[in-house]
Chains A and B, each alone.
Chain A
Amino acid sequence: GDSVTQMEGPVTLSEEAFLTINCTYTATGYPSLFWYVQYPGEGLQLLLKATKADDKGSNKGFEATYRKETTSFHLEKGSVQVSDSAVYFCALSVGGGYNKLIFGAGTRLAVHP
């Protein structure tokens, strides 16, 4: 079945470091891909998305490119800030009638000054 695999955390970085969080997926058909972010004690917020191969989603300095050949959607940011500390979830939409989301396990990011 459809699934999402994320790199295990926690990821600990110093401020201004480069961030990569790996995400790969398996799916039948052509899913849309998403990154959601969850700050402590809050619900999820959509960070970015891509709906087809080679699309690049970007927001708040974060980027991810939909790579069909490697079934990946890695999240990157060139210079992280302390305020980026959160849990990041990769997800795919299985489409169909209900557009269910399948989430990865989440990767906790801690950024230190």
Chain B
Amino acid sequence: GAVVSQHPSRVICKSGTSVKIECRSLDFQATTMFWYRQFPKQSLMLMATSNEGSKATYEQGVEKDKFLINHASLTLSTLTVTSAHPEDSSFYICSASLAGGSDRETQYFGPGTRLLVL
């Protein structure tokens, strides 16, 4: 149980285009979803936290107009990288925590999306 999927797993795009990444909780409802960025051989950097039906909370230094997050339902959140540039190339990982219950602290991670901007 508690499976999170991401789509696509890899994407290559041209500079200036926008890319949408989907994060889905497959077998549970997620009140909260998180988006992380991971640089090679480094730890995860939290970008933003999103709650279903409300605006995302962005971490300091993350441009909310560049990284658009939508959390339209309890099983889907999307991250759109707008006007992507080569420096946006990275591994993007989402996670979700369970709605209700006693295990809201545990986050379940998706497999990640590798973005390469040419």
Residues of A within 8 A of B (CB): 32, 34, 36, 42-46, 49, 51, 89, 93, 95, 98-101, 103-106, 108
Contact = CB atoms under 8 A, between A and B. Distances in A.
Contacts of B51: 98
Interface stretch (B12-20, B67-75, B107-115): B107-115
B49 A98 contact: yes
Given A42-B112, A106-B43, A32 B105 contact: yes
13 contacts: A43-B4, A43-B6, A44-B109, A49-B105, A51-B105, A89-B43, A98-B32, A98-B49, A98-B57, A99-B97, A99-B104, A100-B46, A103-B44
Contacts of B95: 44, 101
B87 to A, nearest CB: 21
A32 B106 CA distance: 9
A75 to B, nearest CB: 16
Name the prevailing secondary structure of the B interface residues.
Answer: strand
A95 B105 contact: yes
Which interface residue of B46, B108, B109, B110 has the most chain A CB atoms within 10 A? B109
Contacts of A99: 32, 97, 104-105, 107
B93 A104 contact: no
Task: Give the size category of B's interface with A.
Answer: 20 to 34
A106 B29 CA distance: 29
Which 7 pairs between the two chains have the least Cβ-Cβ distance?
A: A44-B109, A43-B109, A43-B111, A43-B112, A93-B105, A103-B43, A105-B43
Given A42-B112, A43-B112, A101 B42 contact: no
B62 to A, nearest CB: 13
Contacts of B111: 42-43
Contacts of A46: 106-109
Contacts of B32: 98-99
Contacts of A49: 105-106
A44 B44 contact: yes
